[in-house]
């Protein structure tokens, strides 16, 4: 069965950025601690919401090392591996393991759009390059809109047939309820997460493990309540309205803008180019829509 601890609400954390366009480690540490305190099971740094494809492997591992040095509980970290480069992916997986993280969330190579056999070969090579130094658990990151790779049942089975002892979960960011349910039913041995709050109750009812998503950055307490009581349609309706507001305002930069507003710290709003922080009018509209959903403070 799925790993017993890999359940719940996992926050795909934003990454605070310094004026010099580096990782703002003190703010990242404070934010991660706040997310765990507000009910998240784990924090996933440097995924899509964390601008993981925009930071180098060196920057990300240095930031994770600084988090550990600052006293962060690395056993509650599931960092993203967001690179099409095999060598960088292997370095990232090895570094994540050395820091004592719980697992790594691995995006498939996203440039060439190759065959399923080619993707399986890439995972073969990744495991081969890291097997001698670590056997850290891996989660597959299914976000075909950005990666151009879909983890079909056939592809998942091919990878599991070779590396079943290493693969422990899937994050399904398709936003498709039927796809999430299909994965949960097809692979009960894996912890299957959705990236979409609106899918969470149905996924849980069909054997899913929970969610790994960006919305907990602001709404962690409400999402933990929804996880604990999936029948709370009032919370589900509120989250649906909030997702629409975030998606119509640039997704992760909207979450950053909201944190800057509620925490009273403009440094949280800064994004790494090519992304740009929300303009004042856009932020005002976003916060107004959150207020309409009954939300007035940071989670």
CA atoms within 13 A on the CB side of 122: 24
Cβ neighbours, 10 Å, residue 137: 19
Place of tokens 């060598």: 87
Cα–Cα separations (whole angstroms), residue 171 to 104, 133, 232: 11, 25, 23
Output the CA torsion 203→208→213→219 (10° steps).
Answer: 70
Q: Is 68 a catalytic residue?
A: no
Sign of CA dihedral 181, 186, 192, 195: negative
The answer to the question of whether 49 is labelled as a binding residue is yes
Contact by Cβ (8 Å): 200, 210: yes
CA atoms within 13 A on the CB side of 15: 29
Phi, psi at residue 24, to the nearest 5°?
-85, 90
| Catalytic-role residue among 171, 238, 256, 268 | 171
Q: Is 141 a catalytic residue?
A: yes
Distance CA 122, CA 113 (A): 12
The answer to the question of whether 212 is labelled as a binding residue is yes
Query: Token pair for residue 276?
Result: 């740009």
| Catalytic-role residue among 60, 141, 256, 268 | 141
Cα–Cα separations (whole angstroms), residue 6 to 75, 104, 136: 12, 12, 14
> Can you spell out the DSSP letters for 5-65?
TS-EEEEE----B-TTSSB-HHHHHHHHHHHHHTT-SEEE-SSTTTTTTTS-HHHHHHHHH
- Rounded to 10 deg, the angle between the 86-98 and 116-130 helix axes is 50
Binding residues: 49, 212
Active site positions, annotated: 141, 171
Binding residues for pyruvate: 49, 212
């Amino acid at each position: 069965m799925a790993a017993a601890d890999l359940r719940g609400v996992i926050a795909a954390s934003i990454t605070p950025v310094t004026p010099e366009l580096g990782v703002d480690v003190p703010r990242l540490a404070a934010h991660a601690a706040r997310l765990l305190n507000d009910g998240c099971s784990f924090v996933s740094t440097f995924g899509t919401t964390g601008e993981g494809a925009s930071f180098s492997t060196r920057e990300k591992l240095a930031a994770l090392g600084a988090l550990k040095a600052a006293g962060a509980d690395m056993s509650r970290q599931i960092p993203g591996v967001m690179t099409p480069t095999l060598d960088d992916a292997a370095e990232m997986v090895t570094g994540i393991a050395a820091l004592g993280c719980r697992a790594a969330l691995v995006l498939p190579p996203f440039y060439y759009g190759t065959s399923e056999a080619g993707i399986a070969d890439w995972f073969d090579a990744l495991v081969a390059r890291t097997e001698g130094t670590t056997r850290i658990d891996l989660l597959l990151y299914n976000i075909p809109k950005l990666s151009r790779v879909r983890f079909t049942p056939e592809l998942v089975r091919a990878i599991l047939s070779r590396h079943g002892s290493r693969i422990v979960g899937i994050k399904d960011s398709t936003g498709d309820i039927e796809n999430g349910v299909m994965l949960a039913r097809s692979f009960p041995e894996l912890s299957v997460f959705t990236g979409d709050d609106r899918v969470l109750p149905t996924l849980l009812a069909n054997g899913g493990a929970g969610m790994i998503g960006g919305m907990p950055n602001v709404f962690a307490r409400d999402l933990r309540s929804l996880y604990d009581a999936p029948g709370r349609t009032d919370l589900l309706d509120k989250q649906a309205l909030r997702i629409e507001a975030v998606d119509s305002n640039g997704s992760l930069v909207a979450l950053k803008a909201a944190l800057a507003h509620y925490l009273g710290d403009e440094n949280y709003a800064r994004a790494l180019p090519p992304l740009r922080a929300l303009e004042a009018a856009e932020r005002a509209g976003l916060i107004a829509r959150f207020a309409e959903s009954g939300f007035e403070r940071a989670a």
